[in-house]
């Protein structure tokens, strides 16, 4: 009888431990998502600006991004985005040496604006491919946990950042972006290098999922 109760109690503890593990996993993902939404960092580390080069900033001629999702957990500390990350005012900046371009390097940067009421992320990015132009883009993105298999067939966690919408702002754009609920107000004081009229134009777009 004592052995029977010992088995029952052991089984109860194992079941409770398994349930606790299942309950803890979503919380861990939620904690990571909360951090990204609050500060656009993950585990206290800045998210590499160069991810936006791959999410369309580096190939604006195509109009619509070909690559639309980045696993933030894999991106941080990766060989692909290994270059140093620095802060310049409100901009988080990453430079990549490239001897084939005029300036000898490419530059990617972002300014994190914040999160809309429906939990979409809003950033302004800029990209210089090594020439005279620095091109600005407004990004609206979604964030979601996911699971996948590694090469050994083991399950691992992803944190996918996905482009929902991009709005081209222009070469050497100057202005401000504000969030109100799910509305994003873009105030442009200079839309291009040739824009010298000094007038402020305002455009409002809605942040929404398709």
Backbone angles phi, psi at 173, to 5 degrees: -55, 145
pLDDT of residue 3: 53
Which H or E element spans position 183?
Answer: strand 183-190
Q: What is the pLDDT of residues 91-118, one digit of tens each?
A: 999 999 888 888 888 999 999 999 999 9
Whole-model pTM? 0.84
Flag whether pLDDT at 64 surpasses 90. no
The number of residues in the chain equals: 210
pLDDT of residue 37: 98
Residue 79 belongs to domain spanning: 2-206
- Residue 93: beta bridge partners? 86, 109
Q: What is the pLDDT of residues 126-149, one digit of tens each?
A: 999 988 899 999 999 999 999 999
CB 44 within 8 A of CB 77: no
The DSSP output letter for 102 is: T
Closest CA to 157 of 148, 168, 165, 166: 148
Total count of domains within the chain = 1
CB 136 within 8 A of CB 200: no
Distance CA 99, CA 123 (A): 29
The pLDDT confidence band at residue 197, using thresholds 50, 70 and 90, is confident
Higher pLDDT, 61 or 118: 118
3-state secondary structure 61-72: HHCCCCCCEEEH
The set of long-range contacts for 76-79, using a CB threshold of 8 Å and a minimum separation of 24, is: 76/42, 76/43, 76/45, 76/47, 76/48, 77/45, 78/48
């Amino acid at each position: 009888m004592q052995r029977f109760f010992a088995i029952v109690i052991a089984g109860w503890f194992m079941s409770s431990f398994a349930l606790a593990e299942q309950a803890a996993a979503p919380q861990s993902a939620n904690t990571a998502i909360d951090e990204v939404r609050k500060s656009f960092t993950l585990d206290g580390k800045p998210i590499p600006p160069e991810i936006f080069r791959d999410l369309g900033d580096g190939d604006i001629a195509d109009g619509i991004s070909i690559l639309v999702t980045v696993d933030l957990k894999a991106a941080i500390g990766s060989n692909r985005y290994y270059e140093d990350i620095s802060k310049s005012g409100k901009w988080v900046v990453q430079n990549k040496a490239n001897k084939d371009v005029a300036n000898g390097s490419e530059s990617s940067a972002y300014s994190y604006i914040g999160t809309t009421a429906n939990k979409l992320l809003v950033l302004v990015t800029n990209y210089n491919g090594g020439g005279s132009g620095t091109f600005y883009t407004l990004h609206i993105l979604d964030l979601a946990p996911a699971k996948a298999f590694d090469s050994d067939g083991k399950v691992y966690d992803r944190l996918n950042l996905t482009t929902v919408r991009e709005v081209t702002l222009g070469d050497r754009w100057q202005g401000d972006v504000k969030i109100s609920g799910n509305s994003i107000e873009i105030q442009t004081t200079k839309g291009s290098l040739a824009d010298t009229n000094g007038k402020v134009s305002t455009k409002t777009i809605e942040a929404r999922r398709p």
